[in-house]
């Protein structure tokens, strides 16, 4: 199931390329790391699409971002599970992305030992995104939640600067 921000019109600015505007897809953008990366991107005037199934993310974080950046064409949220290949394909067909920042992941170590199949499914969902980005010739910026200890301001600045 896909839900887009209600402010979108039938001619979505997310579906077109505009000179000087970089459109970034942030998977897991409702989570702690993803929402902070999204905040930084929005502050730097990027166009952002968050894709999250809210299994770990928080809709409250998305609402805060939407309230901080209410201008049409700045931020859209799509509720979808990355394992739903049909929906993911539709997202890539209906949007023009310049880059992907991948933060969607199973974040808890205990889960990987209690339910290794769940972690394996999460891993293959990442590959689904990577395959699509290769097809669409996107710049891919990938990280997992296991790197959260390394994501300081310097890392975020490097990621944002590399999009320029």
* Domain assignments of the chain as residue spans, ordered by start: 19-153
Model confidence at 164: pLDDT above 80: no
Q: Can you say how many angstroms the Cα of residue 63 is from the centroid of all Cα atoms in its chain?
A: 15
Asked if 74 and 112 count as a contact pair (C-beta separation under 8 A), the reply is no
19-153: which CATH topology? Rossmann fold (3.40.50)
Beta-bridged to residue 49, according to DSSP, are 25, 76
Is there a contact between 34 and 108 (Cβ–Cβ < 8 Å)?
Answer: no
Predicted TM-score of the model (pTM)? 0.71
- What pLDDT shows up at residue 42? 97
| Among the ranges given (117-121, 147-151, 153-157), the one the predictor scored with the smallest mean pLDDT | 147-151
User: Quick one: pLDDT at residue 29?
Assistant: 96
Give me the chain's average pLDDT, please.
75
Beta-carbon contacts of 113 under 8 Å, excluding residues fewer than 6 positions away, are none
pLDDT of residue 151: 42
What integer pLDDT is reported at residue 146 of this predicted model? 36
pLDDT in tens, 14-70: 999 999 999 999 999 999 999 999 999 999 999 999 999 998 899 999 999 999 999
HEC string for the chain: CCCCCCCCCCCCHHHCCCCCCCEEEEECCCCHHHHHHHHHHHHCCCEEEEEECCCCCCHHHHHHHHHHCCCCCCEEEEECCCCCHHHHHHHHHHCCCCEEEECCCCCCHHHHHHCHHHHHHHHHHHHHHHHHHHHCCCEEEECCHHHHHHCCHHHHHHHHHHHC
What is the pLDDT, as a whole number, of residue 105?
Answer: 75
pLDDT of 161 over the 90 cut: no
Mind listing the pLDDT tens digit for each residue in 77-103? 999 988 787 888 899 889 999 988 988
């Amino acid at each position: 199931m896909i839900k887009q921000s209600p402010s979108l019109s039938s001619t979505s600015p997310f579906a077109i390329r505009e000179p000087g505007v970089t459109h970034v897809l942030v998977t897991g953008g409702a989570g702690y790391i993803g929402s902070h990366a999204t905040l930084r991107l929005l502050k730097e005037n990027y166009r952002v699409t968050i894709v999250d199934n809210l299994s770990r993310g928080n809709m409250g974080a998305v609402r805060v971002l939407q309230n901080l950046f209410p201008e049409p064409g700045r931020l859209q949220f799509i509720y979808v599970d990355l394992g739903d290949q049909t929906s993911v394909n539709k997202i890539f067909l209906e949007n023009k992305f310049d880059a992907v920042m991948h933060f969607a992941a199973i974040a808890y170590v205990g889960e990987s030992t209690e339910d290794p199949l769940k972690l394996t499914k999460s891993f293959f969902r990442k590959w689904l995104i990577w395959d699509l980005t290769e097809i669409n010739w996107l710049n891919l910026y990938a990280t997992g939640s296991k790197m959260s200890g390394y994501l300081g301001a310097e890392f975020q600045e490097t990621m944002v600067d590399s999009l320029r």
